[in-house]
């Protein structure tokens, strides 16, 4: 256990990290107007302004309210507005009505952020209990998760506009050939899965535990737009053989014929991006797929999705040392065939933050890796992202796997 001096060093480091992450959130909304930040384009997405306020509410509620001497709420009426889903903390404004909150204005929410930032910084200069530091670290990681959501939610909002406006026209798209796909083999066996006690991890990554994995192969890179287009052009969305029954019903009912942001057809295939609408880059990983589409594509490819244990084991192995080349992180989240479930021995945190993850462990599937919208340094080998099978507004793609017969 570190001594007091150690704690204060840790507190200083954390304070700098806190400032950096908070500043990055504000930087994300620079290209946006107050209107862009206020509107909710679907129940699953939240307004950027709400993300700005909710992440601040998280620090105010879980850190200041508990540790700040003489705590007073910044604006008591906002407590309900910016509580996402913490039933233990009190009532919540309905998720699908977050877009109705024209008040407070964007300017008022930014002022709220500044005030709470200052109070957290002050607190960190004076106190350094482990639990305080842990909660601030949780708040920082939480804010990073919302940074990714700000990007994906804004992308969805702009995509619904008939004129396909751009979020950011400054960045240049990378153009590079995709390397050839190779199959990497793993023997499996009894493997260790999950986060250990060192460094930050979410409760859903713990405890580290054993699992048995049969021999398997996994693709050396993500599926590209060109490969997925071949599936589309082969009539993949019209052939029941490739689809889970529920996925087939879903594409019929929703009239789905290609990934979420694809436009046009094989003669003129375009994609809505944060830079507006552009011709599809065939070498880039395909993204914005639902689980159903990822699974159907895998079946058409005579392969399957990896389990989350296979995925984690593959990237933990020395064979996968050339990790950048394998796109562990940085392009799209990678659907696994593993339903989101507690690890054996899982214990949610005590108190309201115990609602962070555990209560969502049903009818969702795990995605691994990270995406171009994930803040640098946020994702880990053991990180578990999760979404329902029809969700496709996240940057979700495919890495194929297949059984390795021991013939």
Binder among 210, 235, 279, 319 for a copy of itself (CB under 8 A): 210
77 touches a copy of itself by CB under 8 A: yes
Q: Could you tell me which stretch among 13-21, 78-86, 263-271, 372-380 binds a copy of itself (CB under 8 A)?
A: 78-86
Among 245, 267, 322, 407, the residue binding a copy of itself under the rule CB under 8 A is: 245
Closest contact distance (angstroms) between CB of 392 and a copy of itself is 15
158 vs 332, which CB is nearer to a copy of itself? 158
Q: Would you count residue 33 as binding a copy of itself (CB under 8 A)?
A: yes
The verdict on 316 binding a copy of itself (CB under 8 A) reads no
**Residue closer to a copy of itself (CB basis): 148 or 308:** 308
Looking at the Cβ atoms of 126 and 359, the one nearer to a copy of itself is: 359
Count residues near a copy of itself (CB under 8 A): 60
Write b or e for each residue in 81-119: b if 16 or more Cβ atoms lie within 10 A of its Cβ, otherwise e: bbbbebeebeeebeeeebbebeebebeebbebbeebbeb
* Closer residue to a copy of itself, CB minimum distance, 106 or 280: 106
To a copy of itself, the closest distance from the beta carbon of 345 in angstroms equals: 6
Q: Does 389 bind a copy of itself (CB under 8 A)?
A: yes
Which residues 6+ apart lie within 8 Å of 214 measured at CB?
A: 188, 403, 404
Q: Is 397 in the site for a copy of itself (CB under 8 A)?
A: no
Instruction: Verify binding: residue 349, a copy of itself, rule CB under 8 A.
Output: no
Which one of 339, 349, 380, 381 is in contact with a copy of itself (CB under 8 A)?
339
Region of 133-141, 175-183, 273-281, 354-362 interacting with a copy of itself (CB under 8 A): 354-362
The two tokens of residue 258 are: 């290609």
| Residue from 175, 241, 253, 255 in contact with a copy of itself (CB under 8 A) | 241
Figure out which of the listed residues 69, 162, 199, 324 binds a copy of itself, where binding follows CB under 8 A.
162
Nearer to a copy of itself, 165 or 330 (CB): 165
| Residue 145 binds a copy of itself, judged by CB under 8 A | no
Give the one residue of 267, 322, 362, 407 binding a copy of itself; rule: CB under 8 A.
362
Contact call for residue 85 and a copy of itself (CB under 8 A): yes
- Give the neighbor-by-neighbor strand order of the sheet with 276-279: 262-263, 270-273, 276-279
Out of 17, 93, 263, 275, name the contact with a copy of itself by CB under 8 A.
93
Residues that bind a copy of itself (CB under 8 A): 33-39, 41, 49, 77, 80-81, 85, 87-88, 93, 97, 99-103, 105-106, 157, 160-163, 165, 190, 209-212, 214, 240-241, 243-248, 291-292, 295, 337-339, 341, 344-345, 359-363, 389, 403
């Amino acid at each position: 256990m570190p001594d007091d001096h150690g704690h204060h060093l840790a507190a200083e480091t954390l304070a700098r990290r806190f400032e950096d992450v908070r500043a990055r959130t504000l930087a994300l909304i620079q290209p946006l107007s107050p209107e862009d930040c206020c509107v909710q384009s679907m129940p699953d997405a939240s307004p950027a302004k709400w993300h700005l306020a909710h992440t601040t509410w998280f620090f105010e509620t879980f850190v200041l309210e508990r540790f700040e001497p003489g705590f007073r709420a910044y604006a008591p009426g906002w407590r309900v507005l910016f509580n996402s889903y913490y039933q233990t903390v009190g009532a919540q404004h309905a998720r699908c009505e977050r877009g109705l909150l024209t008040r407070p204005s964007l300017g008022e929410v930014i002022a709220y952020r500044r005030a709470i930032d200052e109070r957290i910084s002050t607190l960190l200069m004076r106190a350094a209990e482990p639990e305080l530091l842990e909660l601030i670290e949780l708040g920082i990681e939480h804010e990073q998760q919302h940074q990714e959501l700000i990007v994906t939610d804004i992308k969805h909002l702009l995509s619904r506009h008939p004129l396909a406006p751009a979020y950011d026209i400054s960045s240049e798209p990378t153009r590079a050939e995709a390397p050839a796909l190779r199959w990497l083999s793993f023997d499996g066996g009894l493997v260790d899965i999950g986060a250990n006690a060192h460094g930050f991890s979410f409760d859903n990554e713990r405890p580290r535990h054993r699992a048995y994995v049969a021999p398997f192969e996994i693709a050396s890179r993500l599926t590209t737009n060109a490969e997925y287009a071949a599936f589309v052009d082969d009539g993949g969305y019209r052939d029941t053989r490739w689809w889970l029954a529920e996925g087939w019903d879903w594409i019929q009912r929703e009239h789905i014929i290609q990934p979420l942001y694809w436009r046009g057809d094989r003669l003129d295939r375009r994609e809505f991006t944060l830079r507006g609408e552009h011709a599809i880059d065939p070498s880039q990983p395909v993204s914005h797929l639902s689980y159903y589409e990822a699974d159907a594509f895998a079946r058409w490819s005579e392969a399957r999705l990896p389990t989350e244990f296979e995925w984690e084991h593959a990237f933990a192995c020395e064979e996968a040392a050339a990790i950048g080349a394998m796109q562990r992180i940085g392009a799209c989240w990678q659907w696994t065939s593993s339903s989101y479930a507690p690890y054996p021995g899982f214990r949610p945190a005590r108190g309201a933050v115990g609602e962070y993850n555990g209560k969502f462990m049903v009818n969702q599937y795990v995605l691994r890796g990270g995406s171009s919208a994930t803040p640098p340094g946020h994702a880990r080998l053991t990180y578990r992202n999760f979404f329902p099978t029809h969700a496709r507004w996240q940057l979700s793609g495919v890495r194929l796997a297949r059984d390795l017969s021991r013939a």
